[in-house]
Chains A and B, each alone.
Chain A
Amino acid sequence: MDAATTLAIPQRIASPAGPRAATPAVSNTRLAMIIVIGTECMFFAGLIGAYLVFRLAAARWPPADLPRLPLGVTALNTLVLFSSLLPMTQALRAVRRVDPRALVSGVRRTAVMGLAFLVVQGVEWARLVDHGFTLASGTYGATFYVLIGCHALHVLVAVTWLAVVALLAARGRFTRRRHAGLEMCAWYWYFVCGLWAVLFPLVYLY
Protein backbone atom coordinates (compact mmCIF):
# COMPACT_ATOMS: atom_id res chain seq x y z
CA MET A 1 0.00 0.00 0.00
CA ASP A 2 1.56 3.31 -1.07
CA ALA A 3 1.65 6.48 1.00
CA ALA A 4 -1.18 8.21 -0.93
CA THR A 5 -3.58 5.31 -0.33
CA THR A 6 -2.72 5.19 3.36
CA LEU A 7 -3.48 8.88 3.72
CA ALA A 8 -6.82 8.45 1.97
CA ILE A 9 -8.09 6.11 4.71
CA PRO A 10 -10.07 8.05 7.32
CA GLN A 11 -8.38 8.17 10.70
CA ARG A 12 -11.31 6.59 12.54
CA ILE A 13 -11.19 3.47 10.35
CA ALA A 14 -7.43 3.22 10.52
CA SER A 15 -7.50 3.53 14.32
CA PRO A 16 -6.84 0.48 16.55
CA ALA A 17 -10.56 0.31 17.30
CA GLY A 18 -11.07 -0.67 13.64
CA PRO A 19 -14.52 -0.86 12.04
CA ARG A 20 -16.19 -0.67 15.47
CA ALA A 21 -15.19 3.01 15.70
CA ALA A 22 -16.99 3.77 12.44
CA THR A 23 -20.24 2.18 13.62
CA PRO A 24 -22.91 4.85 14.21
CA ALA A 25 -24.24 5.27 17.75
CA VAL A 26 -27.80 4.72 16.53
CA SER A 27 -28.39 2.50 13.51
CA ASN A 28 -30.61 3.54 10.60
CA THR A 29 -33.00 0.69 11.44
CA ARG A 30 -33.52 2.07 14.93
CA LEU A 31 -33.95 5.62 13.64
CA ALA A 32 -36.55 4.42 11.12
CA MET A 33 -38.43 2.57 13.85
CA ILE A 34 -38.36 5.65 16.09
CA ILE A 35 -39.93 7.67 13.28
CA VAL A 36 -42.60 4.99 12.72
CA ILE A 37 -43.46 4.80 16.42
CA GLY A 38 -43.40 8.60 16.79
CA THR A 39 -45.81 8.91 13.87
CA GLU A 40 -48.07 6.26 15.36
CA CYS A 41 -48.02 8.10 18.69
CA MET A 42 -49.18 11.29 17.01
CA PHE A 43 -51.89 9.39 15.14
CA PHE A 44 -53.24 7.99 18.39
CA ALA A 45 -52.81 11.36 20.11
CA GLY A 46 -55.19 12.81 17.52
CA LEU A 47 -57.74 10.07 18.18
CA ILE A 48 -57.39 10.45 21.95
CA GLY A 49 -57.79 14.24 21.57
CA ALA A 50 -61.06 13.72 19.70
CA TYR A 51 -62.17 11.20 22.33
CA LEU A 52 -61.40 13.67 25.13
CA VAL A 53 -63.51 16.38 23.45
CA PHE A 54 -66.55 14.09 23.22
CA ARG A 55 -65.96 12.49 26.61
CA LEU A 56 -65.55 15.73 28.59
CA ALA A 57 -68.28 17.61 26.73
CA ALA A 58 -70.90 14.88 27.25
CA ALA A 59 -73.42 15.40 30.02
CA ARG A 60 -73.62 11.63 30.58
CA TRP A 61 -70.94 9.14 29.55
CA PRO A 62 -71.65 6.43 28.54
CA PRO A 63 -75.17 7.24 27.36
CA ALA A 64 -77.88 5.56 29.45
CA ASP A 65 -79.43 3.59 26.56
CA LEU A 66 -76.20 1.84 25.56
CA PRO A 67 -74.66 -1.30 27.12
CA ARG A 68 -71.69 -0.96 29.49
CA LEU A 69 -68.27 -2.09 28.34
CA PRO A 70 -67.10 -5.52 29.57
CA LEU A 71 -64.64 -4.36 32.21
CA GLY A 72 -63.77 -7.70 33.91
CA VAL A 73 -62.98 -9.65 30.75
CA THR A 74 -61.04 -6.74 29.27
CA ALA A 75 -59.03 -6.36 32.48
CA LEU A 76 -58.05 -10.04 32.26
CA ASN A 77 -57.27 -9.57 28.59
CA THR A 78 -55.08 -6.61 29.51
CA LEU A 79 -53.22 -8.85 31.93
CA VAL A 80 -52.59 -11.34 29.10
CA LEU A 81 -51.28 -8.57 26.86
CA PHE A 82 -48.97 -7.17 29.51
CA SER A 83 -47.78 -10.69 30.42
CA SER A 84 -46.65 -11.10 26.81
CA LEU A 85 -43.93 -8.52 27.50
CA LEU A 86 -42.12 -11.13 29.55
CA PRO A 87 -41.53 -13.75 26.78
CA MET A 88 -40.68 -10.94 24.36
CA THR A 89 -37.95 -9.68 26.69
CA GLN A 90 -36.77 -13.26 27.27
CA ALA A 91 -36.49 -13.73 23.50
CA LEU A 92 -34.35 -10.60 23.20
CA ARG A 93 -32.10 -11.81 26.00
CA ALA A 94 -31.93 -15.28 24.43
CA VAL A 95 -30.63 -13.97 21.09
CA ARG A 96 -27.93 -11.98 22.91
CA ARG A 97 -26.71 -15.03 24.85
CA VAL A 98 -27.09 -17.29 21.76
CA ASP A 99 -29.92 -19.53 22.95
CA PRO A 100 -31.97 -20.35 19.82
CA ARG A 101 -34.52 -22.55 21.60
CA ALA A 102 -35.40 -19.88 24.16
CA LEU A 103 -35.52 -17.31 21.37
CA VAL A 104 -38.05 -19.23 19.26
CA SER A 105 -40.08 -20.16 22.33
CA GLY A 106 -40.21 -16.55 23.54
CA VAL A 107 -41.34 -15.14 20.21
CA ARG A 108 -43.94 -17.90 19.75
CA ARG A 109 -45.38 -17.37 23.24
CA THR A 110 -45.62 -13.62 22.61
CA ALA A 111 -47.42 -14.21 19.32
CA VAL A 112 -49.86 -16.66 20.92
CA MET A 113 -50.65 -14.26 23.76
CA GLY A 114 -51.17 -11.42 21.29
CA LEU A 115 -53.48 -13.62 19.25
CA ALA A 116 -55.41 -14.55 22.41
CA PHE A 117 -55.84 -10.85 23.18
CA LEU A 118 -57.22 -10.26 19.69
CA VAL A 119 -59.61 -13.23 19.86
CA VAL A 120 -61.05 -12.10 23.22
CA GLN A 121 -61.42 -8.55 21.89
CA GLY A 122 -63.22 -9.91 18.83
CA VAL A 123 -65.60 -12.00 20.92
CA GLU A 124 -66.39 -9.03 23.17
CA TRP A 125 -67.00 -6.81 20.17
CA ALA A 126 -69.39 -9.39 18.69
CA ARG A 127 -71.30 -9.42 21.99
CA LEU A 128 -71.45 -5.62 22.08
CA VAL A 129 -72.76 -5.48 18.52
CA ASP A 130 -75.41 -8.10 19.46
CA HIS A 131 -76.50 -5.79 22.28
CA GLY A 132 -76.97 -2.95 19.78
CA PHE A 133 -73.72 -1.12 20.45
CA THR A 134 -72.32 -0.35 17.00
CA LEU A 135 -70.16 2.21 15.23
CA ALA A 136 -73.35 4.19 14.57
CA SER A 137 -74.28 4.40 18.28
CA GLY A 138 -73.54 8.11 18.49
CA THR A 139 -70.19 9.63 19.40
CA TYR A 140 -69.73 7.01 22.15
CA GLY A 141 -69.87 4.09 19.71
CA ALA A 142 -67.87 5.91 17.04
CA THR A 143 -65.01 6.93 19.33
CA PHE A 144 -64.90 3.54 21.06
CA TYR A 145 -64.74 1.47 17.89
CA VAL A 146 -62.32 3.80 16.08
CA LEU A 147 -59.93 4.11 19.02
CA ILE A 148 -59.98 0.49 20.18
CA GLY A 149 -60.32 -0.77 16.59
CA CYS A 150 -57.16 1.08 15.51
CA HIS A 151 -55.31 -0.44 18.44
CA ALA A 152 -56.60 -3.91 17.56
CA LEU A 153 -55.41 -3.36 13.98
CA HIS A 154 -51.95 -2.52 15.31
CA VAL A 155 -51.96 -5.64 17.48
CA LEU A 156 -52.91 -7.66 14.38
CA VAL A 157 -49.97 -6.19 12.46
CA ALA A 158 -47.66 -6.86 15.41
CA VAL A 159 -48.86 -10.48 15.75
CA THR A 160 -48.30 -11.05 12.01
CA TRP A 161 -44.81 -9.58 12.37
CA LEU A 162 -44.17 -11.80 15.40
CA ALA A 163 -45.25 -14.86 13.39
CA VAL A 164 -42.77 -13.96 10.63
CA VAL A 165 -40.02 -13.33 13.19
CA ALA A 166 -40.78 -16.70 14.87
CA LEU A 167 -40.44 -18.40 11.49
CA LEU A 168 -37.13 -16.67 10.77
CA ALA A 169 -35.88 -17.45 14.28
CA ALA A 170 -36.73 -21.13 13.80
CA ARG A 171 -34.62 -21.09 10.61
CA GLY A 172 -31.70 -19.62 12.55
CA ARG A 173 -31.69 -16.25 10.78
CA PHE A 174 -30.92 -14.23 13.91
CA THR A 175 -27.45 -14.17 15.43
CA ARG A 176 -25.96 -12.44 18.43
CA ARG A 177 -24.72 -9.56 16.27
CA ARG A 178 -27.45 -9.50 13.59
CA HIS A 179 -30.97 -9.46 14.98
CA ALA A 180 -32.37 -6.06 13.97
CA GLY A 181 -35.61 -7.64 12.71
CA LEU A 182 -36.27 -9.23 16.09
CA GLU A 183 -35.33 -6.09 18.02
CA MET A 184 -37.56 -3.81 15.92
CA CYS A 185 -40.42 -6.27 16.27
CA ALA A 186 -39.91 -6.18 20.04
CA TRP A 187 -39.93 -2.38 20.01
CA TYR A 188 -43.20 -2.40 18.09
CA TRP A 189 -44.68 -4.88 20.53
CA TYR A 190 -43.61 -2.72 23.48
CA PHE A 191 -45.25 0.24 21.76
CA VAL A 192 -48.51 -1.66 21.21
CA CYS A 193 -48.57 -2.74 24.89
CA GLY A 194 -47.66 0.76 26.10
CA LEU A 195 -50.45 2.20 24.01
CA TRP A 196 -52.93 -0.16 25.62
CA ALA A 197 -51.71 1.01 29.03
CA VAL A 198 -53.05 4.44 28.03
CA LEU A 199 -56.17 3.35 26.16
CA PHE A 200 -57.54 0.85 28.67
CA PRO A 201 -57.81 3.27 31.62
CA LEU A 202 -59.00 6.07 29.35
CA VAL A 203 -61.77 4.18 27.59
CA TYR A 204 -62.78 1.49 30.11
CA LEU A 205 -62.06 3.04 33.51
CA TYR A 206 -62.41 6.81 33.08
Chain B
Amino acid sequence: MKAAARPLVASLLLALAPATQALAQSCAMCGSSFGQNDPVQRAFSWSILFLMATPYTIVGAVALWLVYMHRRAAGRRRSAGGGVS
Protein backbone atom coordinates (compact mmCIF):
# COMPACT_ATOMS: atom_id res chain seq x y z
CA MET B 1 0.00 0.00 0.00
CA LYS B 2 2.86 2.36 0.93
CA ALA B 3 4.70 1.58 -2.27
CA ALA B 4 1.58 2.31 -4.28
CA ALA B 5 1.10 5.66 -2.55
CA ARG B 6 4.61 6.91 -3.33
CA PRO B 7 4.05 7.74 -7.00
CA LEU B 8 0.79 9.45 -6.03
CA VAL B 9 2.50 11.65 -3.41
CA ALA B 10 5.34 12.42 -5.79
CA SER B 11 2.87 13.43 -8.52
CA LEU B 12 0.97 15.60 -6.07
CA LEU B 13 4.15 17.38 -4.95
CA LEU B 14 5.15 17.87 -8.56
CA ALA B 15 1.75 19.37 -9.31
CA LEU B 16 1.92 21.68 -6.29
CA ALA B 17 5.46 22.88 -7.00
CA PRO B 18 4.41 25.59 -9.52
CA ALA B 19 2.00 26.95 -6.93
CA THR B 20 4.82 28.47 -4.90
CA GLN B 21 4.73 32.24 -4.70
CA ALA B 22 7.66 32.83 -7.06
CA LEU B 23 6.06 30.83 -9.86
CA ALA B 24 2.48 31.88 -9.28
CA GLN B 25 2.76 34.88 -11.59
CA SER B 26 0.47 34.18 -14.48
CA CYS B 27 2.38 36.11 -17.12
CA ALA B 28 5.39 38.33 -17.74
CA MET B 29 3.19 41.41 -17.24
CA CYS B 30 2.25 40.47 -13.68
CA GLY B 31 5.75 39.19 -12.95
CA SER B 32 7.66 42.30 -14.01
CA SER B 33 5.36 45.33 -14.18
CA PHE B 34 3.98 45.37 -10.65
CA GLY B 35 6.00 45.79 -7.50
CA GLN B 36 5.43 44.16 -4.14
CA ASN B 37 1.98 45.05 -2.69
CA ASP B 38 1.02 46.97 -5.80
CA PRO B 39 -2.72 47.80 -5.64
CA VAL B 40 -3.09 47.15 -9.39
CA GLN B 41 -1.84 43.60 -8.88
CA ARG B 42 -4.37 43.12 -6.08
CA ALA B 43 -7.12 44.62 -8.25
CA PHE B 44 -6.38 42.26 -11.13
CA SER B 45 -6.18 39.33 -8.73
CA TRP B 46 -9.64 39.98 -7.25
CA SER B 47 -11.15 40.69 -10.64
CA ILE B 48 -9.78 37.44 -12.08
CA LEU B 49 -11.05 35.49 -9.08
CA PHE B 50 -14.50 37.04 -9.47
CA LEU B 51 -14.65 36.37 -13.21
CA MET B 52 -13.43 32.81 -12.67
CA ALA B 53 -16.02 32.09 -9.97
CA THR B 54 -19.02 33.52 -11.86
CA PRO B 55 -19.45 30.88 -14.62
CA TYR B 56 -19.00 28.05 -12.12
CA THR B 57 -21.63 29.61 -9.87
CA ILE B 58 -24.11 30.11 -12.72
CA VAL B 59 -23.62 26.67 -14.28
CA GLY B 60 -23.67 25.01 -10.85
CA ALA B 61 -26.88 26.77 -9.83
CA VAL B 62 -28.59 25.90 -13.12
CA ALA B 63 -27.44 22.27 -12.91
CA LEU B 64 -28.78 21.94 -9.36
CA TRP B 65 -32.10 23.45 -10.41
CA LEU B 66 -32.36 21.08 -13.41
CA VAL B 67 -31.67 18.07 -11.18
CA TYR B 68 -34.31 19.30 -8.73
CA MET B 69 -36.88 19.78 -11.53
CA HIS B 70 -36.19 16.34 -13.00
CA ARG B 71 -36.55 14.66 -9.62
CA ARG B 72 -39.77 16.55 -8.94
CA ALA B 73 -41.17 15.58 -12.35
CA ALA B 74 -40.21 11.94 -11.77
CA GLY B 75 -41.96 12.01 -8.38
CA ARG B 76 -45.10 13.45 -9.96
CA ARG B 77 -45.06 10.79 -12.69
CA ARG B 78 -44.72 8.07 -10.07
CA SER B 79 -47.60 9.45 -8.03
CA ALA B 80 -49.76 9.86 -11.16
CA GLY B 81 -49.01 6.27 -12.16
CA GLY B 82 -50.12 4.91 -8.78
CA GLY B 83 -46.61 4.31 -7.52
CA VAL B 84 -45.56 2.15 -10.48
CA SER B 85 -42.36 3.45 -12.08
Q: Which A residues lie at the B interface, using CB under 8 A? A: 15-17, 20-21, 23-26, 34, 38, 41-42, 45-46, 48-50, 52-59
Contact = CB atoms under 8 A, between A and B. Distances in A.
Interface in B27-85: 39-40, 42-44, 46-48, 50-51, 54-55, 58-59, 62, 66, 69-70, 72-74, 77, 80-82
B72 A54 contact: no
A57 B43 contact: yes
A42 B52 CA distance: 11
Contacts of A26: 66, 69-70
B46 A16 contact: no
27 contacts: A15-B81, A16-B80, A16-B81, A17-B81, A20-B77, A21-B80, A21-B81, A23-B73, A25-B66, A25-B69, A25-B70, A25-B74, A41-B58, A45-B51, A46-B51, A49-B47, A49-B50, A52-B47, A53-B40, A53-B47, A54-B43, A56-B39, A56-B43, A57-B42, A57-B44, A58-B39, A59-B39
Given A52-B47, A53-B43, A25 B81 contact: no
Determine chain A's interface SS by DSSP, over half rule: helix
Contacts of A54: 43
Contacts of A20: 77, 80
A49 B80 CA distance: 48
A53 B72 contact: no
Contact of B39 (A15, A45, A57): A57
B26 to A, nearest CB: 15
Contacts of A55: 43
B54 A52 contact: no
Nearest to A55: B43
Given A25-B70, A45-B50, A52-B50, A17 B80 contact: yes
A191 to B, nearest CB: 12
A26 to B, nearest CB: 5
Nearest to B72: A25
